[in-house]
Structure 1
Amino acid sequence: MSRFDATVLLDPPAFPASGYAPLADRIARLLETRNDVLFVQAEAVVALEAVATSLATPALKALNIVTSPYGTLFGGWLRRGGATVTDLVAEPARPVTVEAVEAVLDAAEGIDVIALVHAESASGILNPLEAIAKRAKERGILLVVDAVASVGGHPVAVDALGIDIAVIGPQKALAGPAGISAVSVSKRAWALIDRPDAPVNSVLSLADQKRDWLDKGRGALPGTPPPLEFHALKAALDRIEAEGLETVLRRHARTAAQARAAVSDLGLTAFEAGERASNLVTTVVLPEGVEPDSLLVLEEVIRVELTAGVGPGSERLLRINHTGRRADEKTLRETLAVLAKALGQARA
């Protein structure tokens, strides 16, 4: 196998300051929103921490939905800022139910914010965003959505759903770079974030982003923006727009359906299916007698991106990655062929 020549990435041309605002506008169109879009110059987990840090005050009451380690992290960041947090922890590695959300909202008083992850790559599940968004809108509660894994794989219509803050990372279904992320923020959310006592002089401060970039006309970004990441983001958006977002969404949905049908043919059980399953990842329960540790160290398995589930409840789950450019019938066939071979070796 030929080695990649990393020297081609050295001495990249600068990304023009005039190019940041158009990129933000293109992301806004992708999210179907007229809200502000800003960049966090880091992987999306930093953007999520920035959102929690920027929102959290001792006066804030939040319902934090936990369906993976990312929800646990978000609740911890809110608490660090003094917020009162009610964690709604779903059954391990499973989606939350709308009924459970309603029960907490009925029992709790004065909830200001609901936070949830839309699609979980950790376990391949999909949380019922539309139904939860409806409940949040009915009660006037601000909605924060981690759409890092779902954007491009599932519809994320920010304005139609009433999402106040959406965090995205281009590295999943958009098949872009991992080192840059974006956040859309509604006027209602800015009222909680851009306040006199907001955290400032920090990479975790969205108020800084607003004051230093949005309020100054969206020209040069503060700090030293990474040109490679922005060039790659532009290229990823070029490719998504050339294919068409609706086509990208259908491609992910079609590949996910093919993956679930195929694992059944292999005698495996999909962990989730239908509206409770993500289009990005199919998880299967490994059969008795097949140990994850022995299967996942095989070179071919690693090459086709068959990986272990992440978090509580995922101990015997195997993830089949059909995200981004891997949402393709030929790639899926190759992945499943490796899986069938590896299972045969493990059972022998």
Structure 2
Amino acid sequence: MPDFDRHSLLDLPPYPAAGYARLADRIAALIGTGNDVVFVQAEAVVALEAAATSLGRPGLRALNIVTSPYGELFGGWLKRAGAEVIELRAEPGLPVTVEAVAQALAGADGIDLVALVHAESASGILNPLPEIAELAREKGALLLVDAVASAGGHELDVDALGIDIAVIGPQKGLGGPAGISALSVSPRAWQAIDRTDTPRHSVLSLVDIKRNWLDAGRGVLSGMPSALEFHALEAALDRVEAEGIAAAIARHLRAQRAARAGLQALGARLWVSDENEASRLVTTILLPEGLDAHRLAQHGAAVAVGLSAGVGVVASRLLRLDHTGPRASRDTVLAGIRAVARVLREAGVAVSETAAEAAVDALWTS
């Protein structure tokens, strides 16, 4: 059981009506945008579905970059809304290449939307967002980015990159609650969304959020906002701002490098060989043949530190070490590597735990 008073989570005061706009402005500052920021009162996958449902229409042509099941879901939602979707699939579990995106855009006329996931927690990869953003800009296409697993851990300057819709969830790099998500929406994206045929009276309608909150003066949110989620979001933003977003990103970079150095010294094989193509929130190893990540993740040592199997086509071969948000620390990285060492050793794989710990310490103090 958690070592806190669970009753303190009950009977919270309502979140103040004027506070929602302040939270939106604080999020905008963290992700570098002057665009509108709106809330979807659900986990970020609902915000992504809302964006696809609101943008999608017959006649819309979208290039949807698929590097995980999340990108695949997004393409499906666009198709359901009537859009024509061109799917660009990367090698399973790996980042898409700039060359592949350039070729796909060159071979397609009239692309209205480019959609991609920035960092993938599913496999621990990072897609080349700045280069893809430039290609989308040259094409005149809207750019939608799933930044759920990158905000707070990777550089994300929405306006500088020309991102029209960025979807974030505070539960990862920002260390906040999972039950609330946010989208930044550019004026150009609102023009594409605010149509007579756009779905209305739906939790998936961004036009409803625009009408009921933005256009109404950004007061109280419609429905019954969860005070718990918004108080938790405010606390998470307090913590991030106290540290500074640049320092938080630097801490995630240090955790990434420490995890990679420690796992390599341990004798594990990194799934992503190039640091610049790897997530700073999750580090993933490729297991030897015959080992199953789902089974290893059930080991008590793995459960205790949050080791997990990958998600997607290569999931059974990938074991993920999580160093997200407050977990991006030396102690968490060391605990994760010790757990990897134990589960591999008990599975019959030779490991060097002493060398791994020395590598982490050397990197963390350098």
2:324 corresponds in structure 1 to 323
Q: Which residue of 2 aligns with 1:307?
A: 308
Query: 1:105 Cα deviation (Å)?
Result: 0.7
Q: 1:8-33: per-residue Cα shift (whole Å, max 9, x none)?
A: 21111110011000000000001100
Distance between the aligned counterparts of 2:102 and 2:237, measured in 1?
37
Structure 1: runs of 5+ lacking an equivalent = none
Q: Give the aligned partner of residue 145 of structure 2.
A: 145
Structure 2 unaligned blocks of 5 or more: 350-366
Code of the residue aligned with 1:7 in structure 2: it is: H
Q: Could you say which residue in structure 2 is the equivalent of 1:238?
A: 238
Equivalent residues of 2:40, 2:182 under 8 A apart: yes
Question: C-alpha separation between the residues in 2 aligned to 1:43 and 1:332?
Answer: 26
- In the TM superposition, residue 292 of structure 1 has moved relative to its aligned partner by 2.5
> CA separation of 1:77/1:291 partners in 2, compared to 1, >3 Å: closer, same or farther?
closer
- What per-residue deviation string (whole Å, max 9, x for no partner) do you get for residues 314-346 of structure 1? 320000001111100111111111221221112
| Deviation (angstroms), 1:295 | 1.7
Inter-partner Cα distance in structure 1 for 2:240 and 2:295 = 37
2:49 aligned partner = 49
In structure 2, the partner of 1:228 is: 228
SS at match of 2:285: strand
Match of 1:297 in 2: 298
Identity of aligned residues (%): 61
CA contact (8 A) 2:291 2:317 kept: no
Alignment of 1:25-174 (within 5 A): 25-174=25-174
How far is 1:4 from its partner?
Answer: 5.0
Counterpart in 2 of 1:177?
177
Match of 1:197, SS?
coil
How far off is 1:294 after superposition?
3.5
Measured after TM superposition, the shift of residue 101 of structure 1 is 0.6
Partners in 2 of 1:310 and 1:143 — Cα distance? Answer: 25
CA-CA distance at 1:5 after TM superposition: 4.2
Partner of residue 286, structure 1: 287
SS across alignment from 1:320: strand
Q: Deviations over 1:216-242 (max 9, x none)?
A: 110010000000000000000000000
Say whether residues 1:217 and 2:217 are aligned partners: yes
CA offset digits 1:289-312 (Å, max 9, x no partner): 433344221122111011000001
Q: 1:339 — aligned with what? A: 340
CA distance in 2, matches of 1:2, 1:250: 30
Letter in 1 for 2:320: R
For 2:32, the aligned partner's letter is: E
What is the letter of the counterpart of residue 76 of structure 1?
Answer: G
Whether the 8 Å CA contact 2:31–2:157 is kept in 1: the answer is: yes
On the 8 A contact 2:42/2:179 being kept in 1, the answer is: yes
Amino acid at match of 1:18: A
Higher deviation after alignment, 338-347 or 141-150 = 338-347
* Correspondence for 2:362: none
Q: Judging changes above 3 Å, is the alpha-carbon distance between structure 1 residues 81 and 2 closer, same or farther for their aligned structure 2 residues?
A: closer
Aligned residues: 348
What is the rounded CA distance, in whole Å, between the counterparts of 2:173 and 2:247 in structure 1? 12
SS of equivalent residue, structure 1 residue 17: coil
Change (3 A) 1:19 1:119: same
What secondary structure sits across from 1:95 in the alignment?
A: coil
Q: Which amino acid aligns with 1:283?
A: T
Distance 1:131 1:174 in 2: 25
SS at match of 1:179: coil
